[in-house]
Amino acid sequence: MERASKSGDEKSRHGDKTQNVRREGWSFKVNVLSKENLLAEKVEQLMEWSSRRSIFRMNGDKFRKFIKAPPRNYSMIVMFTALQPQRQCSVCRQANEEYQILANSWRYSSAFCNKLFFSMVDYDEGTDVFQQLNMNSAPTFMHFPPKGRPKRADTFDLQRIGFAAEQLAKWIADRTDVHIRVFRPPNYSGTIALALLVSLVGGLLYLRRNNLEFIYNKTGWAMVSLCIVFAMTSGQMWNHIRGPPYAHKNPHNGQVHLLLLLYAFSPPGFDFHHHNMYF
């Protein structure tokens, strides 16, 4: 009798363990399915927004749901900015134009997929997001990876590199392995300016066709050469290639333009001092 009761107890214990294992397995499957369904809903919503606009705006709730909260299997590029007129952020508007060009290049390319999205958080629409990230300057570009927290390299170095769409595309390729070919809308201002310059030079040569001695004027060519040298050594070509902003706002002080005037008058000052020393 005792053996029979012991064997019955062992069977009941084994049965309880089996039921517990089944329950745990079932709950695990339910959790996996619920996460998959939640992820599918998030991706579907993001794709719907992308079909309307290449850059969708985020407030605090959307930011926490689609960017901070798991599950995620996509990368999100976010521009933190302040585009409202009362903010007077001219750099933000310029960066927004480049960001729009980049997002449109990705949205309308044949390589577009649900692994990369572009969004924006405006300070006046998501103040809590700025406070959560301890962010006190704009514009700022950040990459939020599918898993884990953003690293230091996931914040774009705007002050050193500038915010040209091509530079942003290189940074995104480095962080996500997604290569975006930037397509800029046609800009005919350069062509028009070149045509006007050629017309002006051609008209001048036509009017002075009987007296072209000014072409052989050494002083004139020397002045043109000096202008080109000064433009190249002043960093103008670097500005043209990198496209950095004219100035950055510091939250602790205003924009200072006095140094610009000092630099402008420094060469004449040195020349005047040198002239007085020897004459």
Each residue of 8-29: pLDDT tens digit?
555 555 555 555 545 554 444 4
Q: Report the pLDDT value the prediction gives residue 24, as an integer from 0 to 100.
A: 53
> For residues 124 and 129, what is the distance between their CA atoms, to the nearest angstrom?
10
Angle at 177 between CA 174 and CA 180, to 5 degrees: 90
Give dist(CA 181, CA 238) in Å, integer: 22
- Asked if residue 30 has pLDDT above 90, the reply is no
The overall average pLDDT reported for the chain is 80
As a whole number of angstroms, the distance between CA 258 and CA 143 comes to 36
Task: Give one word for 88, left, alpha or beta, with left for phi > 0 and alpha for psi -120 to 50.
Answer: left
Q: Are 172 and 187 in contact (CB under 8 A)?
A: no
For 216-262, how does the pLDDT look when each residue is reduced to its tens digit (9 = 90+)? 788 888 898 988 888 888 777 777 666 666 665 555 555 555 555 66
pLDDT in tens, 60-102: 999 999 998 888 999 999 999 999 999 888 899 999 999 999 9
**Chain position carrying tokens 């602790």:** 252
pLDDT digits (tens, 9 = 90+) for 107-162: 999 999 999 999 999 999 999 999 999 988 889 999 999 988 899 999 999 888 88
Note the pTM of the prediction, 2 decimals: 0.63
